[in-house]
Chains A and B, each alone.
Chain A
Amino acid sequence: MTQNNVYSDATQARGDVIIEVQGVDKFFGDFQALKNINLNVGKQEVIVVMGPSGSGKSTLIRCINRLEKHDAGRIVVDGVELSDDIRNIQEIRRETGMVFQQFNLFPHLTVLDNITLAPRQVRNMPKNEAEEMAMLQLERVKIPEQAHKYPGQLSGGQQQRVAIARSLAMQPKVMLFDEPTSALDPEMIKEVLDAMQELAESGMTMIVVTHEMGFARAVANRVLFMADGEVVEVGTPQHIFENPDEDRTKLFLSQIL
């Protein structure tokens, strides 16, 4: 490992590895959505994934919590390898929070019930304790006063922050974000990114699919650039944004800037 080679340095996770993705392929019918993906994520690391639409970003992070089943390769999360065993899958899902582009809050439940549902049903937490903890999470994302409203009564930015709180309530070791600000009006993007940045600073391991360059520069340890189901390159934000090696990366960056 040579100090002047930023690229090779940044392809490797630092410290303990918590997510291992090795040689993962994913097919939808004949169409190959992921091609031999390799990625190690270290504890407390923040990885930003970028790439054109359809390049497989969502598919990659959805494979990590088994919303999609990978067809080849290995995925290990916190020492547990994903297999067809439903207990393995449940164990990994309990440790892995996910935030969706469309929030996917449960519209028939209040904000508080959205957050307490999983701790009570999965971790068998008593109601009082779950509600106390939910309020803590809501304070963390700065909307405790919305606890008794229904999702439909909140703005998009507030809904997405509830979704983050809902995931955090399970005390996950890893958080996956799939374009969390893409469905938001511009004036609400910042409040969500701020919540995510605070989460990162608190030491959460995160994989974030986003095209928010400011966020990537400020928070990401590494940026992963994907195209056509492949990882095109991995590096520090400076490296990827200022001096990318690959033409596909350059082209993409010139289009989103």
Chain B
Amino acid sequence: MAVRTETASLRRPSPALRWVRENLFNNWYNSVLTVIFGALFIWVGFSLLRWVFFRAEWEIVRVNLTLFMVGRFPRDELARIWVSNYMIVGAIGLMAGAATASAAAAAKEAGLPFVQSKLQDLIQRFWPVLLLVAALLQFSRTWTPTIMTVGMVVIGVAARFAGLHLPRVIRRYAWVLVALLLIGAYGALVWFGGFGWDDWGGLHLTLFVTVAGIILAFPLGLLFALGRRSTLPLVRLLSVTYIEFIRGVPLITLLLMGAFALKFLLPPGMDLSLVSRLVVAIMLFTAAYVAENVRGGLQAVPKGQTEAGQALGLPAWKVMRLIVLPQALRAVIPAMVGQFISLFKDTSLLVVVGVFELLAVSSIANNQPEFLGKGLAEVTLPFVAVIYWVGAYTMSRESRRLEKKLGVGER
């Protein structure tokens, strides 16, 4: 008996093999499909790898790498961009460190376990970004970017360490330091004979317009969402009119207006640069959608929550800020991040009004004498597409992570 059961268990296929049999080859037509799609998959993968590593002529990207990254930013002033990046990385590191330290302290006070995130988690979260940076660095023909990038990593790690070990009293004001660093990051580009937005370009400008658009559109959208629920009829009417007007107009129309019409709407003395007018247009556009998302979240919060807050004697604005909004915003994180991902991708529309952002660089590169007429859009467009994908995919994954993390109360 014992011998028999032993042989039976020996013959039992491994779990992986069983999964394959149960899911891929469980009947004849599924088996056929598996074979066909398997072959297709292998062929596409093979062709893609062959193209990337042997066929594609990456020369156009190598030669124009700086152009893709920063557009026409003066080449002898590139140090400004690195300094700016250092400050941004420093700010992020400091914030991450201080936040971790606060969370750990809170957990300790509450007597709860606290798991600090490991390097492995970071790699898992940001592998597309890391791969992209590695790819960009190998395109570079000098060592400077690699050295500078290593410098950024070092500064980021150091800032995080500093944030973790700040004395408690100072840690509470870490955000002031973070804000100063971010202002400094902007100033490094603009102050002391620096360059305004209209001289920025490439991926740098794309990222800036995205971040600026999000930072401006979010509070404005929030205001319109609250306005739409206001008890004052005039405020409500204004909000509804704004939201419905913007949602009825294509973004490209607003961008063209920003480029060519807004100038005449501005009062004489006031002169906004082209890029600022476009950022305003993007902000106005996104805010309307953010407002609708937030409104959905507000409606999803049960009335009992407001009543409980009121019954405790909290004034209306505190009920909104401390009880209703946190729950409403949490409920709409996926929708809102989706909106921000759209914003990120839609910055490519700026190419139409002659702004030097990432997509524009690809056509400029293709029109350079040495590359003209060689059909190299088949190289530059996939290159640009991958950069957009990395950004969009990372935002989407981070949103899911945030959602899960905040969902702790819903259990």
Q: Which A residues are within 8 Å of any B CB, using their own CB?
A: 65, 67, 90, 93-94, 96-98, 100, 102, 104-110, 112, 117-118, 121-122, 147-148, 150-153, 163, 166-167, 170
Contact = CB atoms under 8 A, between A and B. Distances in A.
A129 to B, nearest CB: 15
A94 B314 CA distance: 8
Nearest to B305: A104
Contacts of B330: 108
B311 A65 contact: yes
Interface string B372-411: 0000000000000000000000000000000000101111
B313 A107 contact: no
A108 B312 CA distance: 17
Nearest to B303: A104
A204 to B, nearest CB: 16
Please classify how large the interface on chain B is, using the bins under 10, 10 to 19, 20 to 34, 35 or more: 20 to 34
Interface string B315-335: 100100011001100100000
B409 A150 contact: yes
A147 B110 CA distance: 8
B311 A97 contact: yes
A222 to B, nearest CB: 24
A175 B203 CA distance: 61
Given A102-B304, A122-B314, A153-B411, 9 more contacts: A67-B311, A93-B311, A93-B312, A104-B307, A106-B327, A108-B327, A118-B313, A121-B314, A121-B318
B312 A117 contact: yes
A101 to B, nearest CB: 9
A113 to B, nearest CB: 10
B112 interface: yes
The 7 closest A-B pairs by CB, nearest first: A104-B308, A118-B312, A94-B313, A98-B311, A104-B304, A93-B313, A148-B110
Nearest to A169: B312
Given A104-B304, A106-B305, A152 B411 contact: yes
9 contacts: A93-B311, A97-B311, A98-B308, A107-B410, A112-B110, A117-B322, A121-B314, A150-B408, A170-B313
B411 A148 contact: no
A99 B315 CA distance: 19
A218 B411 CA distance: 37
Given A148-B110, A150-B409, A152-B410, A106 B308 contact: yes
Contacts of A93: 310-313
Given A148-B111, A152-B409, A100 B322 contact: no
Contact of A170 (B305, B312, B410): B312
Interface of B: 110-112, 302, 304-305, 307-315, 318, 322-323, 326-327, 330, 406, 408-411
A163 B409 CA distance: 16
A100 B314 contact: no
B107 to A, nearest CB: 9
A90 B313 contact: yes
Contacts of B309: 106
Nearest to B316: A86
B270 to A, nearest CB: 40
A139 B376 CA distance: 73
A100 B409 contact: no
A98 B406 CA distance: 28
Contacts of A94: 313
Contacts of A109: 409
Contacts of A150: 408-409, 411
Contacts of A106: 305, 308-309, 323, 327
A231 to B, nearest CB: 23
Contacts of B411: 150, 152-153
B307 A100 contact: yes
A149 to B, nearest CB: 9
A108 B411 CA distance: 10
